[in-house]
Amino acid sequence: MRKSTVWRIAGLIIGVVIALLWMMPLIWSVVASLRPINEPFARGHVWFGSTLSLANYIHAFQIAPFGRYFINTVLMVTAILSVQLVTSSLAGFAFAFYRFPGDKILFTIILTQMMIPTVALLVPNFQTIRVLGLYDTIWAMAIPFWGSAFGTFLLRQTFLGIPRDYGDAARIDGCTWHMILRFVYLPMAVPSIIAFSISSVNWHWNNLLWPLIITQSDKTRPLTVGLARFTQLGEIGAQWGLLSAATLIVALPLFILFVIFQRRFMEGFMTSGLK
């Protein structure tokens, strides 16, 4: 057997082992969620129960209105992403296609947003939402995230990779700036737009702290805040099977979304110049 073949097989085995170790928490969550409710976890007995059961999933839907939480979460991420795509596309196009005094300084200032911890903005954002009278609404969860420094940076890098001759030719033919953006730049940036969309949806779908602060009723709570209810079930201790089932219910839509768009997701970061 050739030496290169041995190294290839060894690398494959190591990769499989690392993948299994990385997936172990997910595998355990699936197994725990299928464990019968009346069979508690004990030391040395934390995997399969006597049978497989969907009782934890049924009980999870009985405890919390996951349907309402799911709708709230979809509305929230849609309200955020739809505006982010507009603002990030416009800003990215401006910094990539035009040159104006102070453009590099302004772009640097925008990028500093990524260095500011989210928790540092909780108090001013809360005060703004309170003044606007939007407390405990979907808009309250969405408005602070309508501008995205990462989205601006990602789309700027993508637009810089598009030959400027295309835009100049369109301008000579009489196209306005928004026509150049709509018909020349955006179609070529679809992979990056999909990559940013998945990143944005994933971040805000899993965000807990801000929705926890700004909501107080089931009519506006997203899935992550609803999931917190399962950590406060009383004096009986942690119900790991029930908690695992609820966690998988929250994570499943994102997993399906990534599986569908994973190829476009990777293409988006590769074509934007990010490694």
Domain stops at, among 57, 81, 100: 57
Model pTM? 0.77
Confidence band for 12, pLDDT divided at 50, 70 and 90: confident
Instruction: For the chain, give the percent of residues with pLDDT over 90.
Output: 7
Residue 134 CB contacts under 8 Å (≥ 6 apart), including other chains: 140, 143
Same domain, 181 and 233: yes
Q: Is the same domain home to 148 and 266?
A: yes
Specify the pLDDT at position 275. Answer: 43
CA distance 69 to 114: 29
pLDDT tens, position by position, 183-206: 888 888 888 888 888 888 888 888
Q: Are residues 124 and 236 in the same domain?
A: yes
1, pLDDT greater than 60: no
229 in the same domain as 258: yes
Give the residue, 144 or 173, on which the prediction is more confident: 144
Q: What is the three-state SS of 18-79? A: HHHHHHHHHHHHHHHHCCCCCCCCECCECCCCCCCCCHHHHHHHHHCCHHHHHHHHHHHHHH
Q: Cβ(272)–Cβ(158) under 8 Å?
A: yes
**Are 126 and 44 within one domain?**
no
Q: Are residues 247 and 165 in the same domain?
A: yes
